[in-house]
Structure formats: C-alpha cells, structure tokens
Amino acid sequence: MIWFEGRLSEGGTIPLEAGDRGLLLGDGVFETIGVFNRIPFALAAHLSSLSAAAKELGFEVPRAAVARAIDDLLAVMTGPHAAIRVTVSRGAGPRGLLPPADPRPVVLASLAPWSPALAFQPVTLATVSLRRNETSPLSRLKTLAYLDNVLALAEAKRAGADDALMLNTRGAVASTAMANLFAVVDGRLVTPPVADGVRPGIMRACLIERAGAVERCLDLGEIVAAPLFLTNSLRLLSPVAALDGRALPPVPPRFAILVGEACGLRSGV
C-alpha cells in the first residue's frame, strides 16, 4: 500500500515530477518504522530523526503530511504487524546542484507486511573493501544516497555472507550495510560512536539506554572473536554467527530479551 500526495493506492507507481531532486540527486531522507501489535515502535523518535536529518540537509519535513500518511496506512492494516517506510524528498528544483530557495518537500510512504519470524535471526558477516566516510555528514543520516550500502552488501553476498561489515577511512569498525553493530568486549556491551561514521539508529539508542552500552571506537582485532549482534528497525536484533568465515561466541540472551520487551514481542531466545 502506498500513500502519496494525500491518497492511498494499491498500485506500485506514483506521478513523480521529472525534476524531483530525490530521484535525480538522492536529495531526501527516510525512516523505516516497525509496527508491532498495531503500534508504531518509537514513533516520536523516528519522526524526530527524520526531521533532524532533513534540517541538516537544509529543508523542513512537512510533519502534518507525514503524520497523516502514517495514520492512513495504520488504518488499512489487515494484520497485527507491518513495516512503514516514510520517504521525504526535497521536491522538484531547477537543473543543477544548488537547492531551490523555496523547497516544496514531497512525502511518499509505504506499508509492507512484517513477520516476527524476521526478527532475532542469526546472520553472517564479511568485511568489505568499501569504507564508510566518517568525514561526511551523510554517514550519520538516513538519506536517499544509499549506494555505498548497496555496493557493500553486494560485495558481502559475493563472499557468501548475509551482511557487510564496514570499516571507516581510519580502519575503525563502523557498522554493517544494513544495521548498527554491538560487541561484548571484556564483559561490556560496546558500540561504535556516531563520529566513526555511524547512523544513530533508533534500536541502537534503545540498547544504549536499556542495556547501558558504551560508545567507543572499536578495532577489527577486538571483535574477530567477540560476541556480536546487529540492530535495526525490522530485524530488531540479529546475533552474528560468523565473521569472515570464523564462528563467533553466542550472544548473551538478555540483550534480545530487552529488545523484545521494548517492542512488545517475544525475543525467541
């Protein structure tokens, strides 16, 4: 189901302007929101993240349109769970790179099925050659310029892994192509800091608050034999079974239990 320009549609196409900067330049932002038992998880945090990312790019999210889109999609849900993606483009502009002086953002939202079977599933990682650029603000925002992640994931798949472990330009651990990363090092839960080229994910924030995770730089050598897990809004928490073909220790179940409780779901662990 798609919401665009105030209307719901079951089709897969929308009448997007040919000059839309999101289409032509990746000039826009997005958020993916899990809906569990018909309740959007951490909705206020997602909306704040969306607005903050757009503001850093230099335009405002039309909050009323986004709220209406989410409400309209929730109203047509046929089951207890779903995934909503909200995309906000800066809108159409003149030819060239400079943004229009008076942007008119465009909101597109979609509703997709989600199953609890997607959550808490183990994954394998492969370290890839493509680096996250921690000097770019885009490394910390969910923008439509997502090709680095696309290419990194493709490289990991060619190596036979489920996801790509990405280092930054200094060689520090950053994240994966699809998720934030956590490690249990010397008994402490650790996650790389935002300054290392990390997006401040909503589920990441949940673990920092609920599990007391410490933000600090991580070297690859620290995690090659440590319990690792990933977090994102739809897979919730994914234990890492192997890194670069090497089996890793199991993740303590308490972290999955914390995430499951936060979302109102059973962790399956």
How far is Cα 31 from Cα 38, in angstroms, rounded to an integer? 18
* Residues 208-257: tens digit of each pLDDT: 999 999 999 999 999 999 999 999 999 999 999 999 999 999 999 999 99
Domain assignment present for residue 219? The answer is yes
Look at residue 193 and give its three-state secondary structure. Answer: coil
How many domains does the chain contain in total? 2
Domain assignment present for residue 143? The answer is yes
Look over the chain and give the mean of its residue pLDDT values, rounded to a whole number.
96
Co-location of 185 and 213 in the same domain: yes
Co-location of 30 and 147 in the same domain: no
Give me the helices (H) in the chain, please. 21-25, 43-57, 63-75, 147-158, 202-211, 220-223, 254-263
CATH of the domain at 253: 3.20.10.10
Phi-psi region of 91 (alpha: psi -120 to 50; beta: other; left: phi over 0): left
How far is Cα 128 from Cα 177, in angstroms, rounded to an integer? 10
| Cα four-point dihedral sign 175, 128, 153, 66 | positive
Domain assignment present for residue 269? The answer is no
Which residue ranges of the chain lie beneath pLDDT 50? 269
Residue partners of 203: CB distance under 8 A and separation at least 6: 180, 231, 232, 233, 236, 237, 259
Co-location of 35 and 107 in the same domain: yes
Count of CB atoms situated within 10 Å of the CB of 141: 19
Co-location of 234 and 149 in the same domain: yes
How far is Cα 59 from Cα 69, in angstroms, rounded to an integer? 19
Where a domain ends, among 63, 91, 114? 114
Q: What is the pLDDT of residue 11?
A: 79
Q: Which domain holds residue 43?
A: 2-114
Q: What is the pLDDT of residue 12?
A: 80
Co-location of 225 and 109 in the same domain: no
Where a domain ends, among 60, 89, 114? 114
Where a domain ends, among 114, 137, 153? 114
